[in-house]
Amino acid sequence: MAVLDAVSAHVDEGRFVGLVGPNGAGKSTLLRTVGAVLKPDAGTVLLDGESVRDLSSRAASRRVATVPQDTSLSFDFDVREVVAMGRTPYRSRFRSNADEAGEEAVERALSRTETEVFADRSIGAVSGGERQRVVLARALAQDTPILLLDEPTASLDINHQIRTLELVADLVDEGKTVIAAIHDLNLAAHYCDDLLLLSGGRILDSGAPERVLTESNLGRAFDTRAVVSRHPVTGAVYVTALPERGGDREGRVHVIGGGGTVSRVLYVLSAAGYEVSVGALGTGDSDLETARLLGLDTVTVEPFAPIDAETRQRITERVLAADVTVAGDIEVGSGNLANLECAAESDALVVVEDRPFEERNYAGGDAAAVYRSLREQGAVVAGSAVLSAVARAIDSNP
């Protein structure tokens, strides 16, 4: 059985290319083929026009360094010695291995990977994540223009994931070419210049992260429903995998929210299978963005515009059509007055309160009075209990 088939790709010098794709897609096999560890049945890997298999292993090791997925080492050297093994392709068989440039390269690699603090410890006495950085240091000491990394952040904590990928990005800035298999699509999107999406041994798509990480490509490759948005802090493409809709819950729920107060509620209810509507929300509201990504029915208004009679009508229709209306942990001000009044038309109400009422942006006046009456009519629950509260409300109000 062919593990890879019809794979053709070109990587420009000085790029950081992420190999992404589901388990078993062939990412490691592709990296091992590029690194000449495996010989393809057909086809060639060219480095600067030269077939990698025509190079002596020493010459290949001066061009390409690899960090494998499995970094366990069966021998017991200290960390500095392991890193120094990266210098093997430069050692002469005839001279003693005193090699000043090599020693400098080893110390630099230890320092850049922040492994020098345990450089004198045995490799058997470092953690899995530390060992992964040691093996990266060994690859750096090899001083090659090309680096192949198979899951370089797999066993790293969140801090070292970022530090390692920042280091890799710096190496790329300095001129190295890097191909890395990375499972975390969001890290890959943030750090890589280009992505190659592999699935079933073939390249499904390649190019800039925003081109490759589309909802349709992710559906085809990973057989999952995912929404693609932009990360609010980094601006990079951001993928969120969703459980298959089709939780088996039946019923309609209308939600009033705003300012991100109900994003999680919308997600939980929608994933459970309910038909969810939400609004009115101002255009640009982060809850509206979530609703759009989840494909929900929304009522929108211009931000800060008063809710006119027609909008009020559209909210009321949804409240009346819903089995349950959920009021999120919203600010209770005049901007929400129409939403609160429409919610009050509901026969079954769930009111989410994570913050005490008094700690919210509570403007007093009519909105507060309507909100108080909602609380009296409805079940008051924490956001984490919204799903069971909705189910109970539907059961008791068939």
Residues lying near ligand ATP in the complex (CB under 6 A)? 3, 21, 23-29, 181
- Look at strands 237-242 and 225-230 and give their pairing: antiparallel
**21/328 with CB nearer ligand ATP:** 21
Q: Residue 278 CB, nearest distance to ligand ATP (Å)?
A: 37
Q: Are 178 and 147 in contact (CB under 8 A)?
A: yes
**24/284 with CB nearer ligand ATP:** 24
Q: Residue 219 CB, nearest distance to ligand ATP (Å)?
A: 18
What gap in Å lies between CA 132 and CA 146, rounded to an integer? 18
Q: Are 370 and 378 in contact (CB under 8 A)?
A: no
Q: Residue 33 CB, nearest distance to ligand ATP (Å)?
A: 9
**200/273 with CB nearer ligand ATP:** 200
Neighbours of 101 (CB within 10 A): 10
**147/389 with CB nearer ligand ATP:** 147
Of the candidates 389, 321, 320, 324, which has an alpha carbon nearest to the alpha carbon of residue 353?
A: 389
What gap in Å lies between CA 398 and CA 384, rounded to an integer? 23
Q: 261 has which bridge partners? A: none
HSE (CB half, 13 Å, CA atoms) of 235?
Answer: 0
Q: Residue 164 CB, nearest distance to ligand ATP (Å)?
A: 18
Q: Residue 45 CB, nearest distance to ligand ATP (Å)?
A: 15
Q: Residue 152 CB, nearest distance to ligand ATP (Å)?
A: 13
**33/144 with CB nearer ligand ATP:** 33
**184/297 with CB nearer ligand ATP:** 184
Q: Are 192 and 180 in contact (CB under 8 A)?
A: yes
HSE (CB half, 13 Å, CA atoms) of 230?
Answer: 7
**30/106 with CB nearer ligand ATP:** 30
Q: Residue 149 CB, nearest distance to ligand ATP (Å)?
A: 12
**DSSP code per residue over 270-306:** HHHT-EEEEEEEETT-HHHHHHHHHT-EEEEE-TTPP
What gap in Å lies between CA 257 and CA 331, rounded to an integer? 9
